[in-house]
Chain A
Amino acid sequence: MAYVLRRLLEMVPVLLVVVAATFFLAHAVPGGPFDKDRPLPAEVKARLEEYYGLDQPLPKQLGNYVVNLAQGDLGPSLKYPGWTVREVIGSRIGVSCALGFTALFIAVLIGVPVGVLAASRPNSWLDRVPMGFTLVGICVPSFVLGPILALVFALGLGWLPPCGWGEPEHFILPAATLGLITAAPLARLTRGSLMEVRSLDYVRTARAKGVPPLRVWFVHALRNALLPVVTYLGPAAAGLVSGSFVVESLFDVPGMGRLFVTAIINRDVMLILGTTIVYAAALLFLNLAADLANAALNPKVARGR
């Protein structure tokens, strides 16, 4: 418990640094949110900037922002008048979360069994063929796999809609793209770590004393072998975040990734900050969750601290 609290407290300074860095970067982006094709009258622009507090010196703006942030207020959106950033993000975050977790689920459901299968018969075709695929999977980025899947399943076979959002079948292609991309490194990791654990003394002992092979495999070896896999889920989530940018713009999904990209294009400083903070916080929490899961699996880690 004390450990969890310490980790949570550690997040505060980290998030503050992220806020400051993003703040200055976002304000340094050339062009402002009120620049249009036809320039606004100087007076109107000045009033707008005064209204949003953009006329104050930057450090003061940052101070105000952090104070508001501490109260859970992410400020107003500059491009969607009448909306707060919280409302805008709230309307999108469900989509991205659903997509991300489905992808992670698919990745674990495919990646781990494939890794186990490959490690059970090393250097046979059962190992070589899937591992070849995973190597390809690592090198084919989401923005290549996505169009290929769309080309085959939507345009070629006509089974699924190529893009759009709202119906359940719209979910399949983006989730599959993200899931398959993440499954490849997971499978390789599972295989590698199983191979290592397999040759350890305690596994040999278990086998020697007559524990049934399947029990050795799943109870003795797999539990230990999964430790690095669980740890990898944190970084995998980070990969999913960048993957979601691509997938959301490819398949026309109204999620957070597209929100961030449009916020940059619109120079909506408040929205850029808001999305970055939400992403950073989400990743920090996922990493903490992965570490806790690791501790639950591994008594050595749990006792070590």
Chain B
Amino acid sequence: MKPPVVESLASESGWQRFRKDRAAVWSGWFLVAIAAVCFLSPWIAPYPYMEQNLAHSAMAPSSAHWLGTDLLGRDVLSRLLQGGMISLFVGLIATAVALLLGICYGVFAAEAGGRAEDLLMRGVDVVSTLPLTLIVILATVVFGQNLPMIFLAVGGVSWLTMARIIRNQTRELKGSQFVQAAESLGQSRWGIFRRHYLPNLAGTIAVCATLTVPGVMLLEAFVSFLGLGVKAPMTSWGLMIKEGADIMEECPWLLVSPSVVFALTLLSLNFLGDGLRDAFDPRSSRK
């Protein structure tokens, strides 16, 4: 027998609802396009991103260099694509880390119940009031500013909201009749988690993840902006914005293109997340 998925009917029309949200759909396509060009950048970028050409340094946008060149004569468009690849990578992987931690913690808390649950959730409340950015900065410096550690550090502080939402949902599911039925039939906790919790949490998780990505990318950009994140010759959008801001009087194009692309990406992620939530989360769909 197939385990029931609550709102399976609602989620059918969820896609239909989503498709009517033009802002969300366009944002989705925009993100697909950005991701595609960034991840294909090793093959389609007009120049190697670290190739320096001092004879062509600090040139304004032209037909040879669409977005101009930086002080070392590197092509801004190529760097923008490579930086985007890093920024999106961090966004996706750190979100995955946060997702994993949040789901485990949230489900565990809800399963534990009683005083233990109260204590665990109070812990989340307390931790979320701390200056976590400071910890992230310290951790990235400690671990030598290499990429995997940036993923871990950024993801490691971004799971708190996720844990809260997952716990609330799981608590509701735990009290529902079909979970109680599975319990009384002797299904193991793991089985209940896999067959009942996960399918019913899937929508929430997807929405949550989409809305976590911009925060995570912002955090990475922020750390890179302070010069403590991604290291040269690699780059990320945050680092490019910093380099542009340093010399914005002489070469404004170095600041404009990464800022615009970064802001548009975050904007689309927010639109997409809101669209998904309105379409799939019946409680918040009233506008």
Q: With A28-B142, A241-B133 known to touch, is A261 a contact of B244 (CB < 8 Å)?
A: no
- Within 8 Å of chain B (Cβ to Cβ): is A126? no
Pairs across A and B, CB under 8 Å, 29 listed: A18-B130, A22-B134, A25-B135, A25-B138, A29-B138, A29-B142, A30-B144, A135-B270, A139-B214, A139-B267, A140-B263, A141-B222, A141-B263, A143-B221, A144-B263, A146-B245, A147-B241, A238-B131, A238-B133, A260-B134, A260-B137, A275-B134, A276-B135, A276-B138, A279-B134, A280-B131, A283-B129, A284-B130, A287-B129
A132-166 toward B: CB 8 Å interface, digit per residue (1/0)? 00011011110110111011000100000000000
**Residue among B128, B133, B242, B267 with max Cβ neighbours from chain A (10 Å):** B133
B262-275 toward A: CB 8 Å interface, digit per residue (1/0)? 11101100100000
Among the stretches B79-87, B98-106, B182-190, B248-256, the one at the interface with A is B248-256
- Within 8 Å of chain B (Cβ to Cβ): is A56? no
Please give the residue numbers on chain A whose beta carbons come within 8 Å of chain B beta carbons, in ascending order. Answer: 10, 14, 18, 21-22, 25-26, 28-30, 135-136, 138-141, 143-144, 146-148, 150-151, 155, 234-235, 238, 241-242, 245-246, 249-250, 260-261, 264, 272, 275-276, 279-280, 283-284, 287
Q: Once A and B bind, how many residue pairs between them come within 8 Å at the CB atom?
A: 111
The B129-170 residues at the A interface (CB cut-off 8 A) are: 129-135, 137-139, 141-142, 144
- Within 8 Å of chain A (Cβ to Cβ): is B34? no
A144 touches B262 (CB 8 A): yes
CB distance from A258 to the nearest CB of B (A): 10
A residues in contact with B226, CB < 8 Å: 245-246, 249, 261
Partner of B248, one of A150, A235, A272: A150
CB distance from A191 to the nearest CB of B (A): 11
Partner of B138, one of A30, A146, A150, A264: A264
A29 to B137, CA, bound (A): 11
B131 touches A283 (CB 8 A): yes
**Residue among A21, A245, A250 with max Cβ neighbours from chain B (10 Å):** A245
- Within 8 Å of chain A (Cβ to Cβ): is B225? yes
A264 touches B137 (CB 8 A): yes
A140 to B132, CA, bound (A): 21
B residues in contact with A138, CB < 8 Å: 266, 270
B134's nearest neighbour on chain A, judged by CB, is A276
A69 to B18, CA, bound (A): 55
B residues in contact with A276, CB < 8 Å: 131, 134-135, 138
Please give the residue numbers on chain B whose beta carbons come within 8 Å of chain A beta carbons, in ascending order. Answer: 126, 128-135, 137-139, 141-142, 144, 214, 218, 221-222, 225-226, 228, 238, 241-242, 244-245, 248-249, 252, 255, 259, 262-264, 266-267, 270
Interface majority SS (helix, strand, loop, mixed), chain A: helix
A27's nearest neighbour on chain B, judged by CB, is B142
B268's nearest neighbour on chain A, judged by CB, is A139
A141's nearest neighbour on chain B, judged by CB, is B218
B residues in contact with A279, CB < 8 Å: 131, 134
CB distance from A271 to the nearest CB of B (A): 12
B267 touches A136 (CB 8 A): yes
Q: With A30-B144, A264-B141 known to touch, is A242 a contact of B267 (CB < 8 Å)?
A: no
B255 touches A147 (CB 8 A): yes
**Residue among B131, B221, B244, B266 with max Cβ neighbours from chain A (10 Å):** B131
A139 touches B134 (CB 8 A): no
A25's nearest neighbour on chain B, judged by CB, is B138
B residues in contact with A264, CB < 8 Å: 137-138, 141, 228
**Residue among A21, A138, A140, A143 with max Cβ neighbours from chain B (10 Å):** A143
B residues in contact with A234, CB < 8 Å: 129
B residues in contact with A235, CB < 8 Å: 128-129
B residues in contact with A22, CB < 8 Å: 134-135, 138
A22 to B141, CA, bound (A): 12
A residues in contact with B270, CB < 8 Å: 135, 138-139
A10's nearest neighbour on chain B, judged by CB, is B126
CB distance from A305 to the nearest CB of B (A): 14
B residues in contact with A260, CB < 8 Å: 134, 137
B23's nearest neighbour on chain A, judged by CB, is A135
A143 touches B139 (CB 8 A): no
A249 to B245, CA, bound (A): 11
A245 touches B138 (CB 8 A): no
A205 to B241, CA, bound (A): 53
Partner of B222, one of A14, A30, A143, A283: A143
CB distance from B282 to the nearest CB of A (A): 16
A14 touches B262 (CB 8 A): no
A67 to B29, CA, bound (A): 57
A234 to B225, CA, bound (A): 25
A245 touches B267 (CB 8 A): no
B135 touches A21 (CB 8 A): yes
A258's nearest neighbour on chain B, judged by CB, is B226
Partner of A280, one of B130, B241, B262, B263: B130
CB distance from B187 to the nearest CB of A (A): 37
A283 to B135, CA, bound (A): 14
